[in-house]
Structure 1
Amino acid sequence: MALDYTFDAALADRIASEKDADTRPMFVTAKGDGISPTEFGEKVSQTAAWLVARGVTSGDKVAVWLPNKLEWMMLLFACARIGAVVAAVNTRYRTAELQHILKSSGAKMLIFEGRDSRADFYRLISELDFSELADLKELVCVDADAAALPPINNIKIGLFSPEEAHPEADTVGTANSPILLFTTSGTTNAPKLVMHVQRAVILHAYNCAKALEFDQDGARFLSVMPFCGVFGLNPTLAAIAGRAPVYLHTEFDIELLVKDVKENAITHLFGSDEMYQQIWQRDREALKHARICGYASFTPGIEEKMRHIAENRVPLLGLYGASEIFAIFSTQPLNLPIEQRLQGGGLPAGGSQAELRVRNTETGELCAENEVGILEFRAPTNFIGYYRNEEATSKAIDADGYFHSNDIGYLRGDGTFVYLARNGDFLRLSGFLTDPKEIEEVLEQDEAVGKCQVVGVEYKGKTRPVAFVIPIDPGKMPKEDVLISEAKSSLAHYKVPLHVIVIDAFPTTESANGLKIQKAKLRDEAMRYIKDAGSS
């Protein structure tokens, strides 16, 4: 491939490098239709021409509010060609979240699906406050019946129809052109918009294609995580770079997922720990063709189940990623012992291009190997900043070009690293940096406890742990005094929870990768509980 790392160059390379580019599928849609590289290239050209005809030009922002449809990829590659920028919108978002990303990005066009099994997107758009969205000029629906939808705020609903004849669009986008805006998770504050340029996206795709062997014979990828987040988009682009066919899933359906994984001999799959557990429960033969099953830990309390699956020869690998440095930034090597390869972190896909260091949270000095601190990353695939937020950018990227992740981890010394938790989730108790999982695992051993989460709160000048537990059986409630007694017999005194609070469910928020537990809300609830209980 040419050194000019653009989406156009990557697509041209894909078409030119395959003898059967007219017949071999590049994508397989949810309906089972195969789309060859040549066909996809034609669709990209049509989409670019359609966008220009609708007035989209270089630098304009196009908000894409779609599931994992072929149209998502067509729009991404087409925007790259004309120098426009895709603002990726989570299909789980509702009006307030949509309002934020449209306002923050200054999107000129919003492309959406009319409705799906979960939401009426047209209705949600109609609830927007358009007085704050002066830049939004076009509303476009991908559904065939878009013409029947009434205008919103005097904006006629257009139909996404790239097959219409329009003059061919000029190639304007370059390797240094911005192409993507991703939202951060936003569990405590309004999400920031992470901006990436074409060079970074495409370079990372080729790095991952080689590092994760998407370029090996017989590789097949099933794309189930949503494209609106890096966990869904980056592996898909890596598969494209590696010439592995991509099987598209527009929504999570475990029965269909298992069926497609088996029937299509899927070799590469990425998702959450809960997803793999569901696959394993449905059919233990489903992953027999798998070569790499990358996963992130989103569900507390199922570590033992994941270890059991890995022990049965499923190639599960822990990984690491962030919107700022991409997903599958790193994966644990398969040749590590199971306990080590199931940890988050791993070996960077960029190899020597990626530089890592760890900083002590107390002294500010760099950490030695195996010393826990804040992870910092420098790589040519890093984001260029938070869009329209210079203050946040200057705090996240230092003068040396390192991104300060605010994640806790350590370097192993063999080129790999271990991710432990978000900095705010780790606790410094009596001067010791403590993983809350140590406390959670002890409490989860009690027969009345299903799941546990531990947070730290300030109490009488010290940080103290407070545990929240969900009963395994609503008819048999966990008892605080019993759990604290059990903790005292197993843990150092400073790790013993100040209180154990029984709740029905953990507070969560939607992200592109699934549900995330809102630790900030748990901390607030812990403080209220302490105040009401009058702890001494």
Structure 2
Amino acid sequence: MTSYASGTSDVPLLGDTIPANLIATAARFPDRDALVEFATGRRWTYAEFAADVDRVAHGLLARGVGKGDRVGVWAPNCAEWTLVQYATARVGAILVNINPAYRVSELKYVLNQAGVRMLVAAESFKTSDYRGMIDEVRPQCPALRDVVLIGVDFDDLRVDGDAAALDAIELSSDDPINIQYTSGTTGFPKGATLSHHNILNNGFFVGELCGYTETDRICIPVPFYHCFGMVMGNLAATSHGACMVIPAPAFDPVASLRACAEERCTSLYGVPTMFIAMLAELGELDLSSLRTGIMAGSPCPAEIMKQVIDRMGMTEVTICYGMTETSPVSTQTRADDTIDRRVGTVGRVHPHLEIKIVDPATGRTVPRGEPGEFCTRGYSVMLGYWDQPDKTAEAIDSARWMHTGDIAVMDADGYVQITGRIKDMVIRGGENIYPREIEEFLYTHPDVLDAQVIGVPDQRFGEELMAWIRMRPGTTPLTAESVREFCAGKLAHYKIPRYVHVVDEFPMTVTGKIRKVEMRAAAVEILGLE
């Protein structure tokens, strides 16, 4: 049996656009909560939210923004971000998500690469002076004609107008509506270009597998600039009439838990590192309303998943796997999957999609149980990288399969395990080693809070293993020797890390993904391997 699966469903794909879907939801549930900004207490019903979206859409038109124009949004999570997301879709403009962590050179690159006409931005946040950086790059960005600052002149974008003017704009569900820049851990980031059809359907089916209805309230501490926040969060909510709850502008474990308790959230999102932080702050909060949620972004340690279910009551929590270029979700566990399935796999193929696992060298589909590269095909695959046909051709083959670069194994029942990135795989003395397996084992050490394993250069074996470890508070830091003793007899000798480095935190992207490329560069210096 080959490692191929297709997702059947009795529920058809949605054929409408994002604004048409929102208008239909607001008509069905006008008085239900649509959006709550927990930090400020601002809240919108669906009728109020749809009306405010239209006001911002009229404001865009009044400033000359039309179908196909690019509108950048550069801000932490806030209600205005969400309003811009839906207002740009209403007029057919293409929303360009800009990472809040970007600095001057990255901002200039994205504004010019996408040809951004209008930029909606926060004035500042934490150590970022957005206004100052915009002033610095603006003369070098010829396409940029308009800047709107949230909290300064954003209300000027809210303009009353005739709905007929908006309804007259001809939109197709296949129009590009969103550009999301990939992390760019190597080289310049690439702009994954996504359509209404891509992201509306992906958000909808993520919500279907979480069992969402209009009674659900989703706490979204993950960033909106990424698919996790704006698709799996916002679009999953609005396509079901559920409520979007913004706990804080950026991830704050205490604010997230308080928002869940006080807003009676039924669902909570996060990457594993976020859940680790929240578990440490649980206290006496009443989280009895929590039912489900999503853990994604990087592999979930088994122990963390069990605690999320036992201590936070998220009995139906699901694991999602995907990438920006696929809108993002390709596989998801189901609410009735066993704990083992939820901690050991990333689930089965999503409805209406195809997946396969291929030999990276030959492109042939491998038998079930054998590792290879994960590929996916279907409605979720991006239109392409913005203005980079050569990069698009490298990622999407002639048969429209998206090649993810992830190593995966599919079992007899179609459940998929992600065992690493092709580029993260360590080859030590001819042995292929998948760091995930070693990380999972190190999590079983009672003093280990978190662990990441990388390959570092070695003259004899080509590569050697190094473990970066975060210790539980009040414990004695592990050494290479103590880790070796712990692993002896339980891991094959070549899988035992030769080097151990104890840290307070790992280098991360804004979405909570560990930057192993940065760790490898630092390790060469730490170990004197230049």
Give the Cα separation in 1 of the matches to 2:158 and 2:448. 57
Which amino acid is the alignment partner of residue 371 of structure 2?
A: V
Question: What's the counterpart of residue 221 of structure 1?
Answer: 218
Give the Cα separation in 1 of the matches to 2:375 and 2:465. 29
User: Is residue 89 of structure 1 aligned with residue 98 of structure 2?
Assistant: yes
User: Is residue 162 of structure 1 aligned with residue 157 of structure 2?
Assistant: yes
For residue 15 of structure 1, the aligned residue among 15, 26, 32 is 26
Question: What's the counterpart of residue 270 of structure 1?
Answer: 269
Paired residues of 1:231 and 1:328 also in contact (CA < 8 A): no
Paired residues of 2:76 and 2:125 also in contact (CA < 8 A): no
Give the Cα separation in 2 of the matches to 1:337 and 1:139. 50
Which amino acid is the alignment partner of residue 320 of structure 2?
A: L
For residue 79 of structure 1, the aligned residue among 68, 88, 106 is 88
Deviations 1:461-511 (CA, angstroms, capped at 9, x unpaired): 8543321434748996644455446545443233244x4153545652433
Deviation at 1:279, TM superposition (A): 3.3
Deviations 1:220-264 (CA, angstroms, capped at 9, x unpaired): 212221210001111221111111122223423333322221223
Paired residues of 1:507 and 1:521 also in contact (CA < 8 A): no
For residue 136 of structure 1, the aligned residue among 141, 144, 150 is 144
Which amino acid is the alignment partner of residue 318 of structure 1?
A: I
Paired residues of 1:212 and 1:292 also in contact (CA < 8 A): yes
Give the Cα separation in 2 of the matches to 1:334 and 1:284. 26
Paired residues of 2:198 and 2:327 also in contact (CA < 8 A): no
The structure-2 alpha-carbon separation of the partners of 1:348 and 1:219, relative to structure 1 and needing over 3 Å to count, comes to: farther
Which amino acid is the alignment partner of residue 342 of structure 2?
A: R
The structure-2 alpha-carbon separation of the partners of 1:50 and 1:451, relative to structure 1 and needing over 3 Å to count, comes to: closer
Which amino acid is the alignment partner of residue 175 of structure 2?
A: S
Which amino acid is the alignment partner of residue 421 of structure 1?
A: G
Question: What's the counterpart of residue 464 of structure 2?
Answer: 465
Superposed, 1:144-159 pairs within 5 Å as 144=152, 146=153, 159=154
Superposed, 1:322-341 pairs within 5 Å as 322-341=323-342
Question: What's the counterpart of residue 394 of structure 1?
Answer: 393
Deviations 1:108-165 (CA, angstroms, capped at 9, x unpaired): 111111123443221222332632x111111111223x4xxxxxxxxxxxx5423334
2:407 is paired with a residue whose SS is strand
Give the Cα separation in 1 of the matches to 2:33 and 2:442. 50
Give the Cα separation in 2 of the matches to 1:3 and 1:448. 48
The structure-2 alpha-carbon separation of the partners of 1:363 and 1:517, relative to structure 1 and needing over 3 Å to count, comes to: same
The structure-2 alpha-carbon separation of the partners of 1:373 and 1:284, relative to structure 1 and needing over 3 Å to count, comes to: farther
1:56 is paired with a residue whose SS is coil
The structure-2 alpha-carbon separation of the partners of 1:370 and 1:56, relative to structure 1 and needing over 3 Å to count, comes to: same
Paired residues of 2:297 and 2:321 also in contact (CA < 8 A): no
Give the Cα separation in 2 of the matches to 1:356 and 1:377. 4
Paired residues of 2:248 and 2:255 also in contact (CA < 8 A): no
For residue 116 of structure 1, the aligned residue among 125, 132, 135 is 125
Deviation at 1:379, TM superposition (A): 1.5
Paired residues of 1:483 and 1:500 also in contact (CA < 8 A): no
Deviation at 1:64, TM superposition (A): 0.7
Superposed, 1:443-454 pairs within 5 Å as 451-454=450-453
1:510 is paired with a residue whose SS is coil
Question: What's the counterpart of residue 493 of structure 2?
Answer: 493
Q: Which moved more, 1:340-349 or 1:455-464?
A: 455-464
Which amino acid is the alignment partner of residue 194 of structure 2?
A: H
The structure-2 alpha-carbon separation of the partners of 1:283 and 1:326, relative to structure 1 and needing over 3 Å to count, comes to: farther
The structure-2 alpha-carbon separation of the partners of 1:396 and 1:38, relative to structure 1 and needing over 3 Å to count, comes to: same
Structure-2-length-normalised TM-score: 0.86
Aligned length: 509
User: Is residue 437 of structure 1 aligned with residue 445 of structure 2?
Assistant: no
For residue 28 of structure 1, the aligned residue among 36, 52, 68 is 36
Q: Matched residues, percent identical? A: 25
Paired residues of 2:15 and 2:173 also in contact (CA < 8 A): yes
Give the Cα separation in 2 of the matches to 1:295 and 1:193. 24
Deviation at 1:60, TM superposition (A): 1.0
Give the Cα separation in 1 of the matches to 2:156 and 2:177. 22
User: Is residue 99 of structure 1 aligned with residue 98 of structure 2?
Assistant: no
Deviation at 1:88, TM superposition (A): 0.7
- In the alignment, structure 1 segments of 5+ residues that lack a partner are 147-158
The structure-2 alpha-carbon separation of the partners of 1:367 and 1:428, relative to structure 1 and needing over 3 Å to count, comes to: farther
Give the Cα separation in 1 of the matches to 2:297 and 2:23. 37
RMSD between aligned residues: 3.0
Superposed, 1:104-503 pairs within 5 Å as 104-128=113-137, 130-131=139-140, 133-144=141-152, 146=153, 159-165=154-160, 168-169=165-166, 170-215=168-213, 218-234=215-231, 235-251=233-249, 252-280=251-279, 281-283=281-283, 286-296=286-296, 298=298, 303-312=302-311, 313-315=313-315, 316-349=317-350, 351=351, 353-429=352-428, 431-440=430-439, 451-457=450-456, 459-460=458-459, 462-470=461-469, 472=471, 478-481=478-481, 483-484=483-484, 487=487, 489-497=489-497, 499-502=498-501
Which amino acid is the alignment partner of residue 110 of structure 1?
A: L
Deviation at 1:528, TM superposition (A): 5.2
Deviations 1:9-29 (CA, angstroms, capped at 9, x unpaired): 1022113333xx1x2222223
Give the Cα separation in 2 of the matches to 1:2 and 1:277. 35
Deviation at 1:446, TM superposition (A): 7.0
Which amino acid is the alignment partner of residue 169 of structure 2?
A: T
Paired residues of 1:88 and 1:229 also in contact (CA < 8 A): yes
Question: What's the counterpart of residue 5 of structure 1?
Answer: 16
Deviation at 1:184, TM superposition (A): 0.8
Greater length-normalized contact order (CA 8 Å, ≥ 6 residues apart): 2
The structure-2 alpha-carbon separation of the partners of 1:465 and 1:394, relative to structure 1 and needing over 3 Å to count, comes to: same
The structure-2 alpha-carbon separation of the partners of 1:340 and 1:526, relative to structure 1 and needing over 3 Å to count, comes to: same
- In the alignment, structure 2 segments of 5+ residues that lack a partner are 1-11
1:508 is paired with a residue whose SS is coil
